[in-house]
Amino acid sequence: MTQRTFRPTTQCAALALAAWLLPGSTLLAQELEPGFRSLFNGKDLTGWAGRTNHWFVEDGAITGVTTRDNPARGNNFLIAQEGGTNLIVTDFELRFSYKFTGPWGNSGCQYRSKDYGNFVVGGYQADFEVGPNFSGILYEERGRGIMAQRGEKVVWGADGKKRVVGHTEKTSAEIQALIKPNDWNDYVIIAKGNHLQHFINGVQTVDVIDEDPKRQALSGILAFQIHQGEPMKIQIKNVRIKKL
């Protein structure tokens, strides 16, 4: 697998993303961008596996809900499937839209991750939440925790240590100002070799090189999270992927 290093700037990539991002739009099959395939049919959870007491389809969107009477006992995940087993992703670009409804919510997209059974997943996670701090970060579930805060360019070295080597074009506060509460936001994840990038609404949020040979992941499963804690509702739609 090709190992990647930082390029001098990601401005061009961000501008290219902004050109096609139409927050909250509904993509029909024939409107998929070249090279992408849909992972969600907009009707039911065919091609996904998760706890049916938390995950279902509502208003054409993947929907995860917890309540006082039906809490999440630990974080659990809706896992992408292919041919009756977990979909395995390597180098890819993933695009989707997400929306929270309510005063609290914490979710994320797991990628190149591991299935621990009973819909528990660990690995790289592109975070999104109702709150003001974590949407767009890189978090490693069941691993290193926060690998990159919003606005950071980071290298995790072969020694297992994190080094901040630069910053994205916008600060964390500027990124947060572009996120729409209780409305649809567009998320992009690009993973190529050991180079990981997240974007929300056309703006880069993190840029990470993972050079730790013991903990880096170059392939694994894809899944969406519903977080334990207060009642919440997360919706996700327009999920599509392109192999790089």
Residue 60 lies in a domain: yes
| Rg value, the chain, Cα | 17
Mean pLDDT of 7-28: 45
Residue 26 lies in a domain: yes
Q: For 202, which DSSP code?
A: T
Confidence of residue 178 (pLDDT cuts 50, 70, 90): very high
What pLDDT, on a 0 to 100 scale, did the predictor assign at position 130?
Answer: 98
Query: Per-residue pLDDT tens for 190-236?
Result: 999 999 999 999 999 999 999 999 999 999 999 999 999 999 999 99
Query: Per-residue pLDDT tens for 49-93?
Result: 999 999 999 999 999 999 999 999 999 999 999 999 999 999 999
Q: Which residues have C-beta within 8 Å of that of residue 151, sequence separation ≥ 6?
A: 167, 168, 170, 171, 172, 175, 205, 206
Q: Which residues have C-beta within 8 Å of that of residue 140, sequence separation ≥ 6?
A: 122, 123, 124, 125, 147, 215
Number of domains in the chain: 1
Q: Which residues have C-beta within 8 Å of that of residue 25, sequence separation ≥ 6?
A: 97, 238
Residue 1 lies in a domain: no
Burial of residue 241 (number of CB atoms within 10 Å: 0-12, 13-18, 19+) = buried
Residue 85 lies in a domain: yes
Task: State the number of CA atoms in the 13 A half-sphere of 183 facing the CB.
Answer: 9
Dihedral (CA of 203, 205, 207, 208) sign: negative
What pLDDT, on a 0 to 100 scale, did the predictor assign at position 27?
Answer: 54
Distance of alpha carbon 216 from alpha carbon 218, whole angstroms: 7
Q: For 17, which DSSP code?
A: H
What pLDDT, on a 0 to 100 scale, did the predictor assign at position 15?
Answer: 42
Residue 194 lies in a domain: yes
The domain in which residue 174 lies consists of 11-243
What pLDDT, on a 0 to 100 scale, did the predictor assign at position 126?
Answer: 98
Mean pLDDT of 164-184: 98
The pairing of strands 106-115 and 85-86 is unpaired
Among 22-31, 83-92, 110-119, 164-173, name the one with the lowest average pLDDT.
22-31
What pLDDT, on a 0 to 100 scale, did the predictor assign at position 31?
Answer: 72
Residue 6 lies in a domain: no
- Residue 174's DSSP bridge partners are none
Q: Does residue 16 surpass a pLDDT of 80?
A: no
Query: Per-residue pLDDT tens for 144-162?
Result: 999 999 999 999 999 999 9
Residue 78 lies in a domain: yes
Dihedral (CA of 107, 178, 182, 44) sign: negative
What pLDDT, on a 0 to 100 scale, did the predictor assign at position 12?
Answer: 42
CATH of the domain at 222: 2.60.120.560
59, 234 contact by CB (below 8 A): no
Query: Per-residue pLDDT tens for 90-145?
Result: 999 999 999 999 999 999 999 999 999 999 999 999 999 999 999 999 999 999 99
